[in-house]
Amino acid sequence: MSLENERRIITKTTGLTLVINAFLGVGKLVIGLISRSTALVSDSINSFSDVFTNFFVLITGRMSRKETDDKHPYGHERFDSLVSVLIGIILIITAIEIAKSAGILLWDYLFNDIPISTPHWMALVVAASTILIKEILYQLTRRRGKKAASPTLMAMALDHRSDELASFSVLVAIGGSLLGWAFLEPIASIIIAFFIIRLGFRIIQTGFSQVVDQAIDQDTIRNIREIVLSFPEVLGIDLLKTRQFGLKYYVDLEICLDADMTLFDAHEVATRIHDEIEGKIPLVKHCMIHVNPQEKR
């Protein structure tokens, strides 16, 4: 897929997500305030933080899919990974604030005898609707993230799944509060914060692994090795190194060919191996092959 098509997918998906998150944020805030649901208000803060990160993704989605230039001969995809780290940090900060507010509310309820308002049934409807919307967004964003090889979209997909779990906690809390267990509302907010923090660290870890040249997974490495050794001209593999570049891969190979083979024939074999690897493993951005001469035994 061309960089332009990847950029178009990232822009369209992020734009759609931004609009929906803004709608959910406003809806949950308004209904949360009207229905006196602290858990729903906390969930609205999560949605507004998503809007903020979506805005950054829109900008970097275009930057990361720019064509190579003299200053960036390997492309700009690592902008994508850096933004996914930023998303993780923002999620953690948001979660800490949510947990802090919920903790104060719960403390006042338990030790200062300050009552917690019982929410209206409308809050229950909003929480249930959010779960449905977020599951649809998760499936859509995950599918498009794989198609565009975008770590940022994959991070956004995980964020949707985390939001879905958080909204389920809100649903349970509101239902329990309507039955007379008002203390479940701040507890749900703390649970929401836990899910968000866990997701934030997971996204940060993934983003860093794509920036520091971490090797790709062992299954793909075995697949590359099998492709190379399937060529009868190859006498062995002296070196096989891989590294992640965003969601894409770089492969460095040193293969052994017959020392008596002509330069032209050796180049043809290397070209065929190169094309086979990039053809069968679409996430390979580039495969560099060096040929070492070896005497046939």
Three-state DSSP class for 123?
helix
User: Residue 15 is encoded by which pair of tokens?
Assistant: 């734009």
The pLDDT of residue 257? 93
User: Residue 76 is encoded by which pair of tokens?
Assistant: 């700009």
Residue whose C-alpha is closest to residue 90's, from 141, 145, 52: 52
The pLDDT of residue 89? 85
User: Residue 118 is encoded by which pair of tokens?
Assistant: 């019982």
Cα–Cα distances in Å, from 194 out to 7, 86, 189? Answer: 33, 18, 9
Pairing of strands 248-258, 236-245: antiparallel
Query: Do residues 221 and 209 make contact, with C-beta atoms less than 8 angstroms apart?
Result: no
Three-state DSSP class for 67?
coil
Go through the domains of the chain in sequence order and give each one's CATH number: 3-211 (1.20.1510.10), 218-294 (3.30.70.1350)
Q: How far is residue 13 CA from its own chain's centroid?
A: 13
Phi/psi of residue 252, nearest 5 degrees: -115, 125
Q: Encode the chain (297 residues) as per-residue pLDDT tens digits.
A: 566 677 778 778 888 888 998 998 898 888 888 877 777 777 787 788 778 777 766 666 565 555 566 665 555 566 666 777 777 888 788 788 778 877 887 888 788 877 767 677 788 888 889 899 999 999 998 998 888 777 778 878 888 887 887 777 778 777 877 777 777 777 877 877 887 788 788 778 777 766 666 778 888 899 999 999 999 999 999 999 998 776 678 899 999 999 999 999 999 999 999 999 988 887 788 899 999 998 766
Q: Which residues have CB under 8 Å from 282's CB, separation 6+?
A: none
Side-chain half-sphere exposure of 95, counting CA atoms within 13 A: 23
Give the CA-trace dihedral at 212, 213, 214, 219, to 10 degrees. 160
Global confidence as pTM: 0.57
Three-state DSSP class for 118?
coil
> What one-character DSSP code corresponds to residue 231?
S
The rounded distance, in Å, linking the Cα atoms of 1 and 77 is: 14
Q: How far does the chain reach from its first CA to its final CA, in angstroms? A: 43
Beta partners for residue 239, in sequence order: 254
The pLDDT of residue 250? 87
